[in-house]
Amino acid sequence: MANAQVDIAIIGGGVSGVYTAWKLKQKYGDSKKIALYEGSGHIGGRLLSVRPPGIDNMVAELGGMRVLANIQERAMALITALNDQLPPAEKITLFDFPVDENQNIAFLRGVHLRLADFTNNPAKVPYRLSKTEYGKGPGTIIVDAIEKIVPGIGAATDAERREMVKVATFEGLPLYKWGFWNLLYRVVSPEGYQFSLDAGGYDTTLVNWNAADAIPWFLSDFGITPDYMGFKNGFQQVPIVLGKFFEELGGSISLNKKLERFDWKGDVFNLVFNDESITAGQLILAMPRRSLELLSPQSPKLQEINALINSVTGRPLFKLFTTYDEPWWTKVEGTPPIETGRTVTDIPVRQTYYWPKDDGTPPTAGKAMLLGSYDDGNNTGFWDGLRPKRSLAWRLGRSKTITDAFRGADDNLPIKAATGKYDLNQKWTDYEAPVRMVEEISRQLSQVHNINATPEVKSAAFRDWGEDPFGGGWNSWNIGVKSWEVRDKIVHPIQDCPLFICGEAYSDAQGWVEGALQTADIMLGKL
């Protein structure tokens, strides 16, 4: 349909894109032609849920995997609203998603610990912690440090914290001009910082990003008792449902439509895709920061707002799942046995999650699955030597470039078929892991669990979110940026041009669906 015309064009089929499309179609009905264009072959963006072969009661989350039910009001309200319209068999069902269990392993500096040892046996922890840090876990050390930086912030609500950091200073300098790492180094010991980094499981949460944003962000996750919830049918079910609802209202979704460039002439946008051109009265870019950056050289209007686009930094994130004939980790020496939650380590695998069944309970026998490696930051670079070049598939216009895919004994088994129109539609086989990557994950898992070798891997899948067009699994605000000003400005960055931008990158809840919904709501208010 060359030179087709639409009233509103939405670019990006992640949560912010399909949520925006659904809300606008509810508002305008048939009075406006609204079309959504997605560069890949699926709806969901960085929500990517796939079913492993031979395991009907588990869903692997290669992207986002949980919500914070006691903090993330928008996400929970959206799930409730969708469930009100879904038939009983298709409803979005949540379960308790455990994280840190006392019996789980911490393999740090070559020493095997259990998480309970941080507080119960601190002499075993191989870090020279200060007297005020001794006997505390990594989250507690950072939360205590934050309280020293902004007294009273721990007891405040999330909204109150956001206001406190806008005016708070440290050594006479506003918090937004401090890097989080720089700031922490003033109030924790070097060993306390390193322990918190290693045992916390993530690198990028404690690096040098804007302290005024890092502080409330960190407290929303670690300053409370988190109520994590997982998804019975996969988190990707949420954007799939949104997309279907949008289409049922008369909206259109086009997949594999890669926007190459756009320009604004007079009162209309000219959009050039990989295989067609269209015109639109209004343009909404529901895209990650890296996608905007890739589009900018050929799109003059984006060049006008490069400073806004570059106010955040993409953070790498990597996931690798492996399946087995049984949950072998439950037999690792130690009492009580390991069944759920995660193990942490300072070697490249960083975090290992003992994956639950789709009702939230741990597998005790039969087929089982691990999120074998969940890592971020510099650790993702470790896997670069064991895989094809990052972003090569995007540049070649292909879904993948793996040529030496691992083929396990279960890869000939069937994958649970979709049972309804709102079910998952992505294939595990589209994300096969390379042979050398699987061999290395097995070697490191045996180190972490202090066993000679792990059992045979039956199948494996991975996703590196540092690849284009995502450029990271999440984004963080840069030092020196007043994020609260940019957040409200970037949703409609050019006053006399109907160009709008939304997505997790420019939100208060970076790295979460909550952030994608927040910026979409702000943008919808300005539309």
Q: Express each pLDDT in 245-293 by its tens digit.
A: 999 999 999 999 999 999 999 889 999 998 799 999 999 999 999 999 9
What integer pLDDT is reported at residue 336 of this predicted model? 85
- Report all structural domains of the chain as residue ranges with CATH numbers, in order of start: 4-45+236-313+479-526 (3.50.50.60), 49-100+315-464 (3.90.660), 116-223 (1.10.405)
In order of 97, 167, 180, 268, 443, the CA distances from 283 in angstroms are 38, 35, 35, 9, 49
Q: Model confidence at 47, in pLDDT bands (50, 70, 90)?
A: very high
What integer pLDDT is reported at residue 4 of this predicted model? 83
What per-residue string of b and e applies to 165-185 under the rule 16 or more CB within 10 Å gives b? beebebeeebbbbbbbbebbe
What integer pLDDT is reported at residue 1 of this predicted model? 42
Please check whether residue 282 is in contact with residue 28, taking contact to mean a CB–CB distance below 8 angstroms: no
What integer pLDDT is reported at residue 420 of this predicted model? 84
pLDDT surpasses 90 at 396: no
Please check whether residue 473 is in contact with residue 515, taking contact to mean a CB–CB distance below 8 angstroms: no
Q: Model confidence at 398, in pLDDT bands (50, 70, 90)?
A: low
Question: How far apart, in whole angstroms, are the C-alpha atoms of residue 46 and residue 512?
Answer: 10
Question: To the nearest whole percent, how much of the chain has pLDDT over 70?
Answer: 98
Region 331-354 average pLDDT? 93
Question: How far apart, in whole angstroms, are the C-alpha atoms of residue 195 and residue 249?
Answer: 52
Region 53-71 average pLDDT? 96
Question: How far apart, in whole angstroms, are the C-alpha atoms of residue 451 and residue 172?
Answer: 52
In order of 61, 169, 312, 374, the CA distances from 64 in angstroms are 6, 34, 19, 11
Residue with tokens 């050594």: 171
Q: Express each pLDDT in 466-480 by its tens digit.
A: 999 999 999 999 999
pLDDT surpasses 50 at 55: yes
Q: For residue 51, give the amino acid letter.
A: R
Which residues, listed in sequence order, are joined to residue 324 by a DSSP beta bridge?
368
Least confident of 26-35, 169-178, 383-392: 383-392
Region 96-103 average pLDDT? 92
pLDDT surpasses 60 at 2: no
What integer pLDDT is reported at residue 173 of this predicted model? 97
Question: How far apart, in whole angstroms, are the C-alpha atoms of residue 269 and residue 25?
Answer: 20
Question: How far apart, in whole angstroms, are the C-alpha atoms of residue 34 and residue 193?
Answer: 49
Question: To the nearest whole percent, how much of the chain has pLDDT over 90?
Answer: 88
Q: What is the mean pLDDT of the chain?
A: 94
Region 114-128 average pLDDT? 97
Residues with Cβ within 8 Å of 474's Cβ and at least 6 positions away in sequence, in order, are 204, 314, 315, 317, 504, 510, 511
Q: Model confidence at 319, in pLDDT bands (50, 70, 90)?
A: very high
Q: Specify the DSSP class assigned to residue 66.
A: -
What integer pLDDT is reported at residue 166 of this predicted model? 96
Picking from 202, 193, 70, 206, the residue whose alpha carbon sits closest to that of residue 136 is 193
pLDDT surpasses 60 at 346: yes
How many C-beta atoms lie closer than 10 Å to residue 285's C-beta?
26
Question: How far apart, in whole angstroms, are the C-alpha atoms of residue 256 and residue 42?
Answer: 8
Sign of CA dihedral 232, 238, 242, 244: negative
Strand ranges for 226-307 from DSSP E: 228-231, 252-254, 259-265, 268-273, 277-285
What integer pLDDT is reported at residue 192 of this predicted model? 98
Q: Model confidence at 421, in pLDDT bands (50, 70, 90)?
A: confident
